[in-house]
Structure 1
Amino acid sequence: MARSPQTMPVPEKTRSSARIARPPSSPTLGSTVVLARWRLQRTLGMLFVTGIGMIAAVLIVCAVPLYSQVSTTAGLHSIFTATPDSPTMDIHATMAGLSSSIVNEVNKRIAAIPQNTIVPYTSGSVQFSIQSQGFNIAVPKQANAATSLTISGYSMNQAASHIHLLEGNLPQSTSKNLQVLLTQQTAQQLKVHVGSLIYIKFNAFTAQDISDTSEYVIDQNLPLLVSGIYTPSTTNDYFWHGTTLDPVLAKRESPASIYYFHAIASNDGILAAVDSTIQHLNKSQTNGVVFTSLFSELYWYYRLDPSKFSISNVDNLSNNLATVQSRIADNYGKVITAPDYPYIETAVTEGALLSTYQGPGTLDLFRNRVDVAQIPVTILMVEVVALVLFFVSMMAELLVERQFDSIAVLRSRGASRRQIFGSFVTQSVGLGVIAFIIGPILALITVLLLIQATLGANGQSALNVITGHPLSIVLFLAAYAAIAVVVAILAMSFSTFRAVSFDVLAIRRESARSTTRPFWQRLNLDILAIIVALTGYGISIYLNNLQGLDAQTRVLVQAPLSLIAPTFLVLAGVLLLLRLFPLLLRLGALIATRGRGAPAVLALGQMARAPRQSVRMALLLALASAFAIFALVFTASQAQHVLDIAAYQVGSDFSGTILSATSQTAFQKQQTMLQHIPGIASVTMGYKDNYQTNSANPSPVTMLAVDANTFAQTAIWNVPGVNLSSLMQQLVAQRQSAVSNDAVAVLVDSLTWSRLDLSPGAKFSVQV
C-alpha cells in the first residue's frame, strides 16, 4: 500500500524569498527590447519576407501618386507646346486715339491687371506691340490694285533675335522719318530698297477738332523710311503670332483687288511719328492725341513658361487666368464708340488657354480630363495597396502563428502579455522604419526609370517637378510613406494582439480543430460586398437611362462606379467561395476516404478541421489573380479609350482649319485640291460654329455643317447599330425640302435630343 507524502510546512522566510523573486507586473522598455532581439534571431527569415512586403507597400503608395503627378504635368506641358502660340495669352485693346501719353496711361491701367497673377508664370518680359492697319500707300502706287498697309511696332531689343537682316539696319526711333523693315517679297513688289521713302495717306484730327467737322483734316501724308530688308529667323516663330509678313493679293472683280502689305517698326518710332503728327496738326497742343479712322490696336503678349508650374498649381494658374479675363471684361469689355480719356474703345483677352462662351479653353479641358482620369488611378492604387497590406498582415499572422508554442511557453514561464506584445510591436516598428527609409528612395528611382521609358521630351521637361522642388517632394513622399507604414504596423499589431491572447491549451485546441470564425465571416463582409456591387451596377444602369444628365457629371460619377462595382463583385465572389471552402474540403475528404491512399485523406482531413491557413493562401492567390487580370483589362480599355477620344475630337485621320470659301465654286475647288494630295484617300469639308438655342433657357449648341456626299467616306464612325452612310443619305434626300420649307434637316446627339425634348420631325431654332 502506498502512502501519500506528508505535506511539510514552508518556513516564512522561504515564502518571502519566493515573493521577492517574482518578476514585476509592468514590463520595462529594456526587457521588451531584449525579448524582441532574442526573438529576432529565431524569426529572421519570416521578418525578412514581411519587411519586403512593407517596403513594397510603401513603394507602391509613393510611386503611384508621384508618377501620376509627373505624367500629368508632362501632359500639361504638352498642351503648351502643341503650337507656337499655345502658351500665349494676349490682351488686345482697340484705341480711338493715340499718343505717347495715352499709351503710357493705358499701359498703367491694363498691364497692371495681370502683373501679380500672370507675370510670375511667364518666361522673359511681356511683349508689347502697337499695330495700325488700313494705311493707303500713296507712293509707290500699285497698278490695277488698291493697297492696305499694316504697321506693327515691337521692342527692337526683343525682336532683334527673331529677325535675320538681309540688308540695312534695325529701325531706330531717333530718325526724322518713321523707319520700317520690309520682307524681301514686299520690297520687290513695292520696288523699293534700303533708304527708299514710302508715303502713306490717312485721315486724322486732334482732340480739339473732334466735335467740329469743318476742322477735319484729311490726306495726311506720313513718310516711311525703309531701314532694312529682313526675313524671320525661323519659320513659325511664336514672336510674330501667326502674322502674315509677306504681301497677300486678294483678287476681286469689283471693287478692285487689294494688296495687303506688312511693315515692322519700333514702338518708340511709331509714337514719335504720332506725336509729330499731333504737333503738325496743332502746334499749340503739347499733350494732345491724334484720332484716325484706321484701326489703332495695342497688344500685350504673355508667354507662359511651362517649367514654372505643374499639375499641383495648375488650378491656381487657371483661376488667375480667369481673374484677368473677368477684370478686363468688366472694365473694358463693352464697346464704346466715343470713349473718354484714355480713349479705349474696348479690350479683350485672347488665347487658346482661355475659356469663352463658345466653350472651355485648352487648360480647362485638360483639367477636366485629369480630374476624370485621377479617379480610376486612385481606385486602382487603393486596390493594389490593400492587396499588399493584406499580404503584410497575413505574413504577420504567419510570423506570430509560427511562434504560438514559444509564446505559450513564455506565458507559462512568467512573461506578461505586454512584454510579448511589445516585443512583436518593436519588431514591426523596426520593419516600418526600414520601409519608411528605403521605400521612398526605391519609389523615386522607379518613377525616374518609368519616365525615361514611357514619356517623351515632355516627360523629361516635367522632371523639374522632382528635381526643381526637392524639399516638397520629400515631404510629399514622407506623407504617403508614413500612411503606408502606420497601416502596416497596425495590421501586424492586430495579428499580434490576437495571438498573445492564446495559452497552451487554446493553441492545442485551435490547431486540432478550428473553432474561431475569420473576421470577415463574423462581419459578413461577403454579403456587404455583394450589396455594394449590386448597388453600384444599379446606379450605373440608372445613370445610363437617365435623361438630361450632362456629360461631365455622367463621367465623374460613372468612372468610379465602373471600377468599384466590379471590384466588389470579385471580392464578394471570392469571399463567398471561401465561405463554402470548408464544406468543399469536407466533401473532398469524404470522397478521399473511398480511395486507398492515406496522404489525400490526411491532408484534406487536416485542412477541413483547421482551414484557416489554406483559406488565407487561397484568398491571397485569388485576389492577386483577379486584380492582375482586372489591371490588364483596364489598361487595354484605357488605351482603346484614348484612341476613341482622339478619333472623336479629330473626326478622321487628321483635320485642320482652312480659309473660308466665299462661294460654292471656291468650296469645290479647295476640296478638289486637297483630294489630289498624295496619300489622301478621301476629303470632306464643312463649317463649324457655336450658337445658342432660341428658348426660355438658351443652351449652347455646336453646329457642324458637313458635305453629306463625302462625310461618310472620310469620318471615323464607331457607333454600333447606326450606319453613317444611311444617315447622310437622309440628309441628301431632304435638301430640296429644306430649301422649300426654310428649315435645315439636322442630326442631333442624345444630350441635345433630351435637353430640347425633341422627336423625329420636330423643329428648333438657334440664334445666328
Structure 2
Amino acid sequence: MALFIMILRKMIKNKWLELSLLFGLVLSVALTSSMPIYTNAILQRLLVQELQQLQTSSSQYPGIYWLSVNLNPDDKDKKTKVSETDEFLRKTGNRFGIPVQFYVRERSTQRYGLIPAEPDKVDTNRQRSADITALEGFEDHIRLIDGRMPAKSPVNGVYEALVVPEALTELGMVIDTVFVIRDENQKEAISIKPVGVFDRNDYTDIYWYNIPSSYKNSFLIDFALFEKEFINEAKLNVQSSYWYLALDYSKMTLMTINSFISSHFMIDTHMDERYENHNYNAPALQTLGAYYVKEANLKIMLWSLNVPVVLMLGFYLYMVANLITERQKTEIAVLRSRGASRLQIILGYVAEGLVLGAIAFFIGPYLGMHLTSVLGASSGFLEFVQRAKLDVSLNRDAFLYALIAVASSLVMTLIPVFLATKVTIIGHKQQSARQAPSSFWHKYFIDVILVGISMYGLYNYKTRIKDLLSLGLKSGDLRVDPLLFLIPALFILGMGLLVLRLYPLFMRLVYQTGRRWWSPALYFTLIQVSRSTIQYQFIMVFLIITIATGLFSASATRTINKNTSDKIRYSAGADITMQIRWENDAPPAILTGLTGDDGLEVQEESVDPTAVKHKTQYTEPSFLPFTQLPGVEHAAKVFIKKDASFKKGKTEAAVQLMGIETKEFGQTGWMRAGLLGHHFYDYLNLIAPNPSAVLISRSMADEYSLKSGDTITLGWSGIEGTRFTVFGIIDYWPSWNPNPGVNDNVTVNSKQGTSTKVKKPMLVVGHLPYIQNNMALEPYEVWLKLKPDASSQLVYKTVTERGYDIESLRDAKQEQIKAVKDPFQMAINGVMTLGFLISVFICFFGFLLYWILSLSARTLQFGILRAMGISFFQLLLMLIGEQVLISGAAIFIGIGTGSITSQLFVPLFEMSFDPKTQVPPFKVTFDPRDQERLYWIVTTMITIGVFTLGYIVSKIRIHQAVKLGED
C-alpha cells in the first residue's frame, strides 16, 4: 500500500506529463477498439441491406428455412422419425438466434386417382388425380371465396376439404362433389369432398411458403385429422413431409450468424441420420457464409489503414515516456546506486503504467464508439455527409482489442525506463555533460532500411500492374490490397528519418555560410538548433508523418473515389438511361402449357425457314415529355444496336452501332476530359454537318485499316445495308467499353495451325435521323441529364404517371451513392479522415507538451542571455527562429515527402481495379481543395501552439532565473 501511495504522489508531482501520457493511452485504446466496433457496425448494416436486396430481387422472404423429405412407404419407423423431426425442429428453431415468426408443418399423401361417387354430376371420362394435404394452422391465414369450412372429422365416412380456385378447373369439379380414392394397397376406400374454396387472406403474409395455386391438385384437410388418420393409422401412404420456419431476418446480427449456421448444420445432421435424402431452402445461408471473408478482409483493411496512426501514437507514447524518464533519470540513478535492482525500478513504473492503463481501458472503448460515428459519416477525405447513424455497440472484441492496446502501450512506455536503469549515477552525470549521441534509427540505419523495403514493394507492385495490363488478368473490383497502405507509411517514416539525418549538415552549412553576418540572436538560434537536432527529432517526426500522411491519404482517397465514380458515370453514359416500351406488331408467342407455379410456358412459333421473315413495325412514343420532366436538364435519344454489321469490299464483321443526335447527345452524355485526342464536342461538331458521317473506334480502324474518308456499309439482320463515310476515329465513347471481354476470343486458322486471338469490340457512331430514315425505326434508349438537386424518384414516378412502361433503367447517381456506402469504400474514407484528425490532435498536444517542457527546462538559459544584454524582443525572435527552423522545416519536409509518396504510390491503386471493367482508364487525382483543408488545419494547429508558447514565455520570470552563485 505504501508503494502504491508513493507511486500516486510521484504521478501527482508530474501531473501534466502523466495526463499527456494518459491522453495518448486513451486515444490508442479508442482507435484500436474502434476497429471491431466499426467492422461489426458496417457489416451489420450491409447484412440487413443485402438481405433486403435479396427479398427485392428474388421476391422470396430471406428468413425462410424450409425442409422437405420423401418418405419411404416400406419404412416401418416412418411415424417415429417424423414425430422426432417435428419435436427437434420445434426446439432447434429457438437456436437460430432470431425470433421465429412461424413454424409450419405440412404433410401430403401420394397422388391418387379420383373416381366420382356421383357420376351424373361430373364428367366421368376425365382423368383426375390428387393428393390429400394438411397444412398446420392455415385456417388463420385464408379467406373463403365460396362454400364453408370443412369439418375436423369425417362426416358419414367422408373427409371434407378445402381447395383453391384453380383446383376446380384442374380437376373438373364443383363444390360438394364426392370423390372416392381407391388403391389396391388400401383395405378400404377413402371418400373426400371439397366443401369450400379459399385464397390467401393477405398476399404479403410470410406464412405462405408456396402460393395457394400450387395446391391445384390437392385437397386440404385439418392437420390434426390428417395426423390421426394417415400418420397414426396409415389409411393412405404419406409420401412427403415439409417443415417451414419463418425467421425474422431484420433482427439478425453478426452475433447470430454463427447460431444460424450451426443450427443449419445440426438440422442437416439430424435429417441425414433419419432420411435417405432431403432438400432444404434457406436463401440467407449463401449471404451469411460470405460474411466471414468480408469480416476478415475488412479487419485487415482497417489495420493497414491505421498503420500511420499507430506509428504516430507509438512515437507519442515513447516521447512522453522518454520526457518523464529524462526528468527522473537522476532519481533512477540514485536508486540504482543505493542498491535497488533494475527489476524493482521497472516494476514501480509498471505499477504506474497499470494505473493509467486501467483508466484508458475503461474510457477508450466508449470513445471508440464515438469515433466510429465519424467513420460512418465520412464520404471522402475530410468530407462528411448526413447519413443514417451506424448501429454501434460495444462487444467482447472491442475490449479484447483495448486490452492488447494497453499492453502494447505499456511496453512502449517502459522502453525508456529500461534503458535508463542501465545507467549508474556516475554514468548519468557523464552523459549529461556530453553531447547526445546519434539516435537509435540513425545509428542502425533504420531509415535506409525502411526506404529500401518500401522501394522494393513499389517495384514489386509495378511489375504486377504491368502483368495485369499486358496479360489481361483480373484483379477484382475495388478490393484494395492492405499492403498498398502499409508500404507508403514505411516510406513516409523512412524518408522523414533520412532527411533528418541530413538536416544537421544543412544547418551547419547555413551557419558556416553567414557566420560573419549573423546577429547574436540568430547566431545563437543556429547554434542551438544545429547542436540539438536529436533533441528535436521526435517533434519533427510527428509533423513530418502528419503532413505527409495527410497528403497521401487525401490523394489516395480522392483517386479511389473519383475512379469509382467515373467508372459508373462512363458505363451508364448519362445520369439516367432507360428503355421505354414501344408498341409493335410482333407476332405473339404461343402459350403451350402451365408450369407448376402457375407461370406460363412460352414457346416461339415455328416458321418455315424459306418464308420471308416478318419485319416488326414499331410505333415511336412521344419524346417531348422527357424533355419536360421535373429536374431534367437535358434529354437525348440514343439508339444502340449491338449486333449490327459492316461491310467494306469483301470484308464483313460485327460491330456495335450507336445512333445519336449530336447536339442533344453532347448536352446529355458524360465523358471525362482527356480520353480523346480532342474535346468530346469537337468530334460531335465534326460529324454534325454531314448526315452520313460516322465515327469509328480505334480497334475497328486498326483491324481493317480504315481511315477518315473511307466509305463503309452498315446494316443488321433483315435490314438492307446503307453507306456511311468515316469522319473520325475515337478511342472511347460514353457507355462503350473498348476492352475485350471474357468471350471475345476467336479462333484463327492459319498455315501454322490454329491459334486464339483476342477480338476487341468495335463501335460506329452515326446520326440517328439518318439511320431511322434509311434503315429502320427501332426502339432507342432515353438518356437524361439531371439538375444538381433533382430527385431520381420523382423522375421515375412522373415517367410512369405519363403512361410510359419502363423496360430497363439505370441510374448513375444512385449507383454512385451505393458505391460510397460500400464497406471497403467507407473504411478508406472514414479511417483516413479519422487517422489524420487523430494525428493532428496527437501532434498538437505533443507539440505543446514538448515545447512547454523545453522552455521550462531552459529558463536558466534565458536568464543568462538576458543578463548578457539580449533584449526580451530579441529573445522572442530567437524562439520564433527556432520554431521556423524546427517546426517550419518539419512541415516543409512533410509536404515534400507527402508529394513524393503520392506520386510514387497512389498509381499502385490501379491494381485494385479490374483493368477490363475500369473504363475510363485509372487516373491519379489531386484535388487542391484537399490540400487546402490540410494546410488550414496544420496552420491553425501551429498558430495556436505558437501563441500558447508566447503566452507561457511572457509569464516566465526570467529576471529571477539567475541568482547569486549560479553559473
**TM (normalized to structure 2)?**
0.51
1:371 paired residue number: 296
2:361 paired residue number: 436
Q: Report the alpha carbon displacement of residue 391 of structure 1 after superposing the two structures with TM.
A: 1.0
Count of matched residue pairs: 629
The partner residue of 1:385 within 302, 310, 313 is: 310
Measure the CA separation in 1 of the matches of 2:387 and 2:501.
49
Asked whether the equivalents of residues 372 and 559 of structure 1 are also in contact (C-alpha less than 8 Å), the reply is no
2:223 paired residue number: 268
Where does 1:204-353 land on structure 2 (aligned, <5 Å)?
A: 205-207=183-185, 223-226=193-196, 230-233=199-202, 235-241=203-209, 243=211, 265-266=220-221, 268=223, 271=226, 287=234, 289=236, 298-306=241-249, 310-311=253-254, 314=257, 317-318=260-261, 321=264, 347-353=278-284
1:606 paired residue number: 528
The yes-or-no answer on 1:86 pairing with 2:62 is yes
Measure the CA separation in 2 of the matches of 1:95 and 1:683.
57
Asked whether the equivalents of residues 105 and 136 of structure 2 are also in contact (C-alpha less than 8 Å), the reply is no
The letter of the residue matching 2:201 is P
Cα offsets for 1:129-154 (capped at 9, x unmatched): 357999999999999xx999998956
Measure the CA separation in 1 of the matches of 2:147 and 2:669.
51
Q: Report the alpha carbon displacement of residue 575 of structure 1 after superposing the two structures with TM.
A: 2.3
The letter of the residue matching 2:512 is L
Where does 1:190-205 land on structure 2 (aligned, <5 Å)?
A: 197=175, 199=177, 205=183
Measure the CA separation in 2 of the matches of 1:644 and 1:87.
37
Q: Report the alpha carbon displacement of residue 758 of structure 1 after superposing the two structures with TM.
A: 7.8
Cα offsets for 1:157-212 (capped at 9, x unmatched): 3662x4466887665543544332657xx79999x99xx71659899744479xxx
Measure the CA separation in 1 of the matches of 2:40 and 2:656.
44
The letter of the residue matching 1:78 is Q
Cα offsets for 1:638-684 (capped at 9, x unmatched): 6678879999999997999x9886449999999999x9998898899
Q: Secondary structure at the match of 1:300?
A: strand
1:75 paired residue number: 46
**Distance of aligned partners of 1:517 and 1:531 in 2 relative to their CA distance in 1, 3 Å threshold:** same
Q: Report the alpha carbon displacement of residue 419 of structure 1 after superposing the two structures with TM.
A: 6.6
Where does 1:76-225 land on structure 2 (aligned, <5 Å)?
A: 76-82=47-53, 83=55, 84-93=60-69, 104=79, 107=82, 120-121=95-96, 123-124=99-100, 126-130=103-107, 155-157=135-137, 160=140, 162-163=141-142, 173-174=152-153, 176=155, 177-180=159-162, 197=175, 199=177, 205-207=183-185, 223-225=193-195
Q: Report the alpha carbon displacement of residue 81 of structure 1 after superposing the two structures with TM.
A: 3.5
2:405 paired residue number: 484
**Distance of aligned partners of 1:518 and 1:550 in 2 relative to their CA distance in 1, 3 Å threshold:** same
The yes-or-no answer on 1:44 pairing with 2:20 is no
Measure the CA separation in 1 of the matches of 2:272 and 2:62.
22
Measure the CA separation in 1 of the matches of 2:68 and 2:570.
33
Measure the CA separation in 2 of the matches of 1:536 and 1:134.
73
Q: Secondary structure at the match of 2:254?
A: coil
Q: Report the alpha carbon displacement of residue 617 of structure 1 after superposing the two structures with TM.
A: 0.5
Structure 1, unaligned runs of 5 or more: 1-28, 210-216, 247-259, 277-284, 333-343, 355-360, 467-472, 687-705, 738-745, 763-768
Worse overlay, 534-543 or 599-608: 534-543
Q: Secondary structure at the match of 2:518?
A: coil
Q: Report the alpha carbon displacement of residue 287 of structure 1 after superposing the two structures with TM.
A: 3.7
1:427 paired residue number: 352
The letter of the residue matching 1:48 is L
Q: Report the alpha carbon displacement of residue 58 of structure 1 after superposing the two structures with TM.
A: 1.2
Asked whether the equivalents of residues 97 and 289 of structure 1 are also in contact (C-alpha less than 8 Å), the reply is no
Q: Secondary structure at the match of 1:760?
A: strand
The letter of the residue matching 2:368 is A
Measure the CA separation in 2 of the matches of 1:598 and 1:368.
65
Asked whether the equivalents of residues 36 and 397 of structure 2 are also in contact (C-alpha less than 8 Å), the reply is no
Q: Secondary structure at the match of 1:442?
A: helix
**Distance of aligned partners of 1:438 and 1:119 in 2 relative to their CA distance in 1, 3 Å threshold:** closer
Asked whether the equivalents of residues 144 and 196 of structure 2 are also in contact (C-alpha less than 8 Å), the reply is no
2:28 paired residue number: 57
**Distance of aligned partners of 1:662 and 1:628 in 2 relative to their CA distance in 1, 3 Å threshold:** farther
The letter of the residue matching 1:126 is Y
Q: Report the alpha carbon displacement of residue 86 of structure 1 after superposing the two structures with TM.
A: 1.6
**Distance of aligned partners of 1:646 and 1:761 in 2 relative to their CA distance in 1, 3 Å threshold:** closer
**Distance of aligned partners of 1:404 and 1:244 in 2 relative to their CA distance in 1, 3 Å threshold:** same
Where does 1:6-45 land on structure 2 (aligned, <5 Å)?
A: 30=2, 33=4, 36-45=7-16
Measure the CA separation in 2 of the matches of 1:667 and 1:370.
54
Asked whether the equivalents of residues 53 and 388 of structure 1 are also in contact (C-alpha less than 8 Å), the reply is yes
Asked whether the equivalents of residues 152 and 265 of structure 1 are also in contact (C-alpha less than 8 Å), the reply is yes
Asked whether the equivalents of residues 536 and 564 of structure 1 are also in contact (C-alpha less than 8 Å), the reply is no
Q: Report the alpha carbon displacement of residue 450 of structure 1 after superposing the two structures with TM.
A: 7.4
The partner residue of 1:759 within 750, 756, 760 is: 756
The yes-or-no answer on 1:493 pairing with 2:414 is yes
Q: Report the alpha carbon displacement of residue 51 of structure 1 after superposing the two structures with TM.
A: 0.8
Asked whether the equivalents of residues 186 and 236 of structure 2 are also in contact (C-alpha less than 8 Å), the reply is no
Measure the CA separation in 1 of the matches of 2:639 and 2:298.
33
Measure the CA separation in 1 of the matches of 2:4 and 2:571.
64
Measure the CA separation in 2 of the matches of 1:45 and 1:749.
64
Cα offsets for 1:229-279 (capped at 9, x unmatched): 55533x433322473759xxxxxxxxxxxxx96988356289489959xxx
**Distance of aligned partners of 1:671 and 1:413 in 2 relative to their CA distance in 1, 3 Å threshold:** farther
Measure the CA separation in 1 of the matches of 2:11 and 2:420.
17
2:924 paired residue number: none
Measure the CA separation in 2 of the matches of 1:111 and 1:650.
52
Worse overlay, 45-54 or 134-143: 134-143
**TM (normalized to structure 1)?**
0.62
Cα offsets for 1:339-378 (capped at 9, x unmatched): xxxxx8x643334335xxxxxx333344433333332112
**Distance of aligned partners of 1:660 and 1:478 in 2 relative to their CA distance in 1, 3 Å threshold:** same
Q: Report the alpha carbon displacement of residue 54 of structure 1 after superposing the two structures with TM.
A: 0.7
The letter of the residue matching 2:194 is L
The letter of the residue matching 2:245 is Y
1:616 paired residue number: 538
Measure the CA separation in 1 of the matches of 2:221 and 2:619.
41
Asked whether the equivalents of residues 135 and 200 of structure 1 are also in contact (C-alpha less than 8 Å), the reply is no
Structure 2, unaligned runs of 5 or more: 379-384, 580-598, 606-612, 630-634, 643-653, 677-694, 704-712, 719-737, 747-753, 760-967
Asked whether the equivalents of residues 206 and 246 of structure 2 are also in contact (C-alpha less than 8 Å), the reply is no
The letter of the residue matching 2:508 is R
Q: Report the alpha carbon displacement of residue 57 of structure 1 after superposing the two structures with TM.
A: 0.9
The partner residue of 1:597 within 510, 519, 524 is: 519
Q: Report the alpha carbon displacement of residue 434 of structure 1 after superposing the two structures with TM.
A: 1.8
1:470 paired residue number: none
The letter of the residue matching 2:284 is L
Asked whether the equivalents of residues 592 and 600 of structure 1 are also in contact (C-alpha less than 8 Å), the reply is no
Q: Report the alpha carbon displacement of residue 384 of structure 1 after superposing the two structures with TM.
A: 2.7
CA RMSD across the alignment = 6.5
